[in-house]
Chain A
């Protein structure tokens, strides 16, 4: 694949990633949120594949495969099971209304782009211009964790943040060493399971997944 076409394709996928991050930010239904998360993983895997193919870095093939396995199939499946068992499908509540969240999101994107501009000038990877987008999607996922009131969307925000970090690593330095990536992948998987157990405990304790209840230290 010639490098300019590959970099165009990676740019397009980066834009798609950013779009999905915004779609997640504006989404009210948990089921759609999980589906969007899976799509984000798919876009990530494709862009990793393209980078792997055009740079000849074999370990990136493994991380692309790992992404598909983990973020497109396994974690969404676990999350589906979780919300089925917890019986929470609809209740995504936000602290501030969605148009305002979107406007804050635009501000974050501008901030991230400004922040990444000097860094990407120093990088020499052909995907360097996507670093700003990766940073922006990290910040957007962070925003999503902040503005969501319920526990499940917050966890999805956390996982989406990991997606953004992974994309940043791929675009800035053609990926981390395979051992690190395996470790992170395992951490995310284990994290999801632990979160799942936490959900049940939170609900058992408070009869709700609203994490506001956890701010109180003692019962009144």
Chain B
């Protein structure tokens, strides 16, 4: 039986993630602009873009099926659900038992399947191309992601994200070599899954290289806004999963209102550095050729497997 403060926490966290996700993207873009010696756009630019898109009229191809129209809502819903499951501000939320880490990866996979289907729906060549590339990246990234999560699950003895975070946050200080491997693998998966630079360039619409952008080429106005927003929430969710697994200190318990300001502040600091770090990675790395993406992701898989093996061998 869940009590009222827990539900209040759940609602607060879900709203917070949805509202703060564009801010993270704005901060990331700002850092990237600074690092590339450009004058940075406002940190609030993603909000303005969303507002602008919501006010426009949607243009939809004549041969679009209902699938094409519903996909943005499904994507947004999936990402919002994921944001509700991940312990961002507090552990032990009432939603958390609904899905463990495997189901969480499943939610992301569901979103990916729908975005690929919608991309192929119109029948343009770019859509099909983008969908195929997206699925290629997805099916390589997913095992690496699962292995990473399993490493953390083995250490804490549970696949519940909440339990993992509580075990890792409240332990005494121990060096886990396996978690170091897993963290490296997770970073690579994060870059690949969120269409970040070594795999995909989020700022380009160049036909030959784009992956994620090619799948959403046909969308406009409110549909595009929802997809952009969902992408921002996805990035936010991945970053908070990474924080929850590898830097979980300072998270609050559900219903513990006094710990909440601290949890907010700690999360803000962590995301501040994570965003800047991601911008740095994106600036120093060059985009890989598409055919090198399997190598990149198989390295991530290798690291994750090594992490798990190290855990078994060293028992730490």
Contacts and interface: CB of A to CB of B under 8 A. Distances in A.
A106 B305 CA distance: 8
A105 B298 CA distance: 12
Interface of chain A: mostly helix, strand, loop or mixed: helix
Query: Which bracket fits the contact residues of A?
Result: 20 to 34
A99 B295 contact: yes
B175 A9 contact: yes
A133 B174 contact: no
B313 A133 contact: yes
Given A98-B295, A133-B313, A15 B178 contact: yes
A208 B302 CA distance: 33
Contacts of B313: 113, 116-117, 129, 132-133
Contacts of B305: 106
Contacts of B309: 106, 109-110, 113
Contacts of B106: none
Interface of chain B: mostly helix, strand, loop or mixed: helix
Given A106-B305, A106-B306, A110-B309, A15 B299 contact: no
A202 interface: no
B314 A14 contact: yes
A174 B298 CA distance: 36
A130 B316 CA distance: 12
A67 B314 CA distance: 25
Interface stretch (A18-26, A47-55, A57-65): A18-26
Contact of A99 (B174, B180, B298, B314): B298
Interface string A1-27: 000000011011011101100100010
Contacts of A11: 175, 177, 314, 316
Given A12-B180, A15-B178, A106 B302 contact: yes
B283 interface: no
B310 interface: yes
Given A12-B180, A106-B306, A26 B314 contact: no
Contacts of A14: 177, 314
Interface in B255-312: 294-295, 298-299, 302-303, 305-306, 309-310, 312
7 contacts: A9-B175, A14-B177, A14-B314, A18-B310, A22-B302, A106-B306, A133-B314
Interface of B: 174-175, 177-178, 180-181, 294-295, 298-299, 302-303, 305-306, 309-310, 312-316
